[in-house]
Amino acid sequence: MSSANRIDAAFARLKEKKQKAFIPYIGAGVPGALQTVEMALLLEKQGADILELGYPFSDPMADGLVNQAAATRALENGVDDKAYLGMVQAIRAKSQIPIVVFTYLNPIFRLGMAEFARRAKEAGVDGFLIVDLPVEESAEFQEVCRKLDLRLIFLAAPTTTPARLQRLLREASGFLYYISRTGITGEQTGFQKDFESKLSEVVKAAVASSLPVVVGFGISTPEQVRAVCALCDGAVVGSALVRRTLEDKPWPEMRAEIEALAQRLIAPTKEVLS
């Protein structure tokens, strides 16, 4: 794979600095397109390493109420392929933060997966995470991504079998996204009781592939970010940020809250490891 991909470069830099990745998820077009671009730049300034930018779908079955509401709001705001890629271009005009298209299969299948991937690459996208595209059915899109030097990220869960985990590690690129618990996205007060042991098994299995492992779903506090980063290569935070984009507040006030939260969440990932 080419080292030119921004996702690979980000993890290489973090490894050299002995730091971990902070990966925020935000819904494109919420509260608006201009604010999405501003938020992406703000998060990068605070130390975010990779951005997951949600492409809205009307039936986001893996998402909790907050991200579902954001997807609905985005669709109401008219976020389609043109609007989404316009936001990517606007971010890319001012930033080199790696951008991952986080979405479901239906909307991009409808647009034509190869064609959408080509357009996404031209706009400045670095990878895809398609929640409901299983690795077993991904060969065609994997080939599309390889030709475009895009990374195709897959999800692993506490219920993933060792054999399937090995396949995910062979075929995923960019990083492996480990779901911290069974269920849907959303803020949680703690982890499942077997979380640490299961994550440790995944990280151990990933060593041979050199594929970074990050954890998401339910991470919403600095303490949770720190706990996750002690075990793997980074943390994904979505609902805690997205919830604030849905509040009925003026943008400057909303922006200030997001900035303050981002500072607290990102700080643990930049603590240099011994």
pLDDT given at position 36 = 98
* 25-53 exposure pattern, b = at least 16 Cβ within 10 A, e = fewer: bbbbbbbbbebbbbbbbbbbebebbbbbb
pLDDT in tens, 67-96: 889 989 999 999 999 999 999 999 999 999
Which of 63, 81, 126, 233 is the catalytic position?
63
Active site residue 52: yes
pLDDT in tens, 3-32: 479 999 999 999 999 999 999 999 999 999
Under a CB-based contact definition with an 8 Å cutoff, are residues 240 and 31 in contact? no
Whose CA is closest to 262, among 225, 207, 208? 225
- Alpha carbon dihedral 174, 177, 178, 179, in 10-degree steps, equals 180
Between CA 250 and CA 124 the distance in angstroms is 30
pLDDT given at position 2 = 42
Confidence of residue 186 (pLDDT cuts 50, 70, 90): very low
Which of 52, 81, 126, 233 is the catalytic position?
52
Active site residue 63: yes
Residue given tokens 């779908």 in the structure block? 57
> 112: which 2 tokens?
């034509």
Tell whether the model's pLDDT for residue 198 goes beyond 60.
yes
Least confident of 38-47, 100-109, 186-195: 186-195
List the domains of the chain with CATH numbers: 6-266 (3.20.20.70)
* Cα 49 to the center of its chain, rounded Å: 10
> 76: which 2 tokens?
């109401």
pLDDT given at position 188 = 52
